[in-house]
Structure 1
Amino acid sequence: MIILLVVIFVIVASCLPSRDKADTAASSPARASEPITREAPEVQRARLLAEAKSETGTHQSRLSAAEKLLSSFAVSDEAKQAEPIAKEMREAIRKASLGKQWQYWDQDDGMTSRMSRGATVTSSNTHEFDFPYAGAQRAKLVLRRHPRHGNDVMLEIERGQLQCTSYSGCDVLVRFGEGQPRRYKAMGPADNSSETLFIEGYADFVRRMQAVETVRIQANVYQQGAPLWEFDVSGFSPERLTK
């Protein structure tokens, strides 16, 4: 009987750690499923307002914090304070990106040893022509000041045939901002290539362009109708063409 009791005691003792481990494992999922403490609304509002007001933050980070306040806590005092900050940051971001769509370039004119300077902006919209010019394409508006050829406004397409010859010319419609369309005379290049045309009236064109943010140009393309190209011309720097 004594030996039997000892054996039973040993067996019971050896089972105790396993039960403890099982109890620990069983309790782990319960702890894992406990809810995570969330930031109190008043604390979140204060934090977002501090981020929106931070002078060391970027314009985008301050705008994001202000917009979060306006969307999630629209009726709060913090949102009222964030509203003018959001407006200020949007304007700052707009000004920072102003004119970056323009590409400025210069080339040495070997005949005069003077510089030819220009600026190019790509259309914000695309057109897709029929075969053999298939595929979405953009147009380019080019302003050029050349020491021998003078000042030019050029419309360029990637593929296709602009119906504007060097001997008979053509008309194009140009709309500056939300004004009425204006008709300009244009000529094709001397080499009779069909992807470029020259719009007459450089000074008038640039003067009107500087007063608006958008210019739309419509020109006839062989068997493709008269597609309209839209250009973001904001932030143009004319002084970069006269240095």
Structure 2
Amino acid sequence: MSFLFLFVFLAAIVGVFRPYLGRKRWHFGLAAFASFILIGVFAPKPDPASVSEAGTSEKERSAAARPAGGKAEAAEASDAPDTNWDYSETTDEMRGTTTKFARVVSENEVDLDFPYGVVNGYLTVRQQKKDGLSIIFSVDKGQILCHSFSDGYVSVKFDDQPIRRFSCTGASDGSSDVAFILNERSFLTSLKKSKKLIIEGEFFQKGNQQFTFKTEGLNWQ
């Protein structure tokens, strides 16, 4: 049906420019307009299935054209282990030196009673030009019994390895909530291989207390 109206439309267009059969131009113009409308009404509708398939094919082509880099980057990110380590650094402007830190917070809390209350434990790896490598165990507040004059030590357990003792000493400024773990290189070597660490230290009037750390993914050169 649409082909018939198309033929009428073309004949009417010719009549607009070169009237024939004794008709006036506006007659042919009206016929052309009417036939144009009827062509649109009776034109075959597109198949919805074919439209859907065409849209799907276009999406597939677009997806195929995307670079594979995004997938590769996502794969690399998923391969990297989750880590609880926080990294920071400070700069001594006067001496032109930089101190680097990596710190992890304990998974558990310990109640040290009044006046300290519930505290977290912290393990910090520090590298500075003056003192070199330091391994620091600390709490929010409390008194860790680790003094150079009393042969203080902490017990540590890396993953399922045997329990080891590391000597420790207090901070030079007398802070009681900080202990420096000695034999730093050996400790760091085991720490970088571990996923879990338990540190047991002795606290004033609270005896031995344990703090558990998730240590996987330490990035330290």
Whether 2:85 is the aligned partner of 1:102: answer yes
- Aligned CA RMSD, in angstroms, stands at 2.5
Whether 2:113 is the aligned partner of 1:130: answer yes
Change (3 A) 1:112 1:124: same
CA contact (8 A) 1:161 1:195 kept: yes
CA contact (8 A) 1:123 1:138 kept: yes
- The equivalent of 2:125 in structure 1 is 143
Give secondary structure in 1 for the equivalent of 2:107. Answer: coil
Whether 2:206 is the aligned partner of 1:229: answer no
- The equivalent of 1:178 in structure 2 is 160
Distance, in Å, in 2 between the alignment partners of 1:189 and 1:166 is 10
1:170-196, Cα deviation, whole Å (9 max, x unpaired):
111011111110011100011111000
CA contact (8 A) 2:81 2:216 kept: no
TM-score, length of structure 1 as denominator length: 0.57
Distance, in Å, in 1 between the alignment partners of 2:79 and 2:140 is 30
Q: How many residues align?
A: 151
- The equivalent of 1:121 in structure 2 is 104
1:95-149, Cα deviation, whole Å (9 max, x unpaired):
45512x11101111345311110100000111111111123x2110000001101
Shift of 1:167: 3.9
- The equivalent of 2:58 in structure 1 is none
Whether 2:201 is the aligned partner of 1:219: answer yes
CA contact (8 A) 1:109 1:147 kept: no
Q: Percent identity?
A: 26
Give secondary structure in 1 for the equivalent of 2:190. Answer: helix
Whether 2:145 is the aligned partner of 1:163: answer yes
- Which of the numbers 181, 185, 190 marks the counterpart of 2:172? 190
Change (3 A) 1:147 1:140: same
Q: Gapped runs of 5+ residues in structure 1?
A: 1-90
Distance, in Å, in 1 between the alignment partners of 2:191 and 2:109 is 21
Q: Which amino acid aligns with 1:113?
A: G
Give secondary structure in 2 for the equivalent of 1:208. Answer: helix
Change (3 A) 1:167 1:150: farther
Shift of 1:231: 0.6
Q: More strand by proportion, 1 or 2?
A: 2
Instruction: After the TM superposition, list the runs of 4 or more consecutive aligned residues in structure 1 that deviate by more than 2 angstroms.
Output: 91-97, 109-112, 165-169
Higher RCO (C-alpha 8 Å, min separation 6): 2
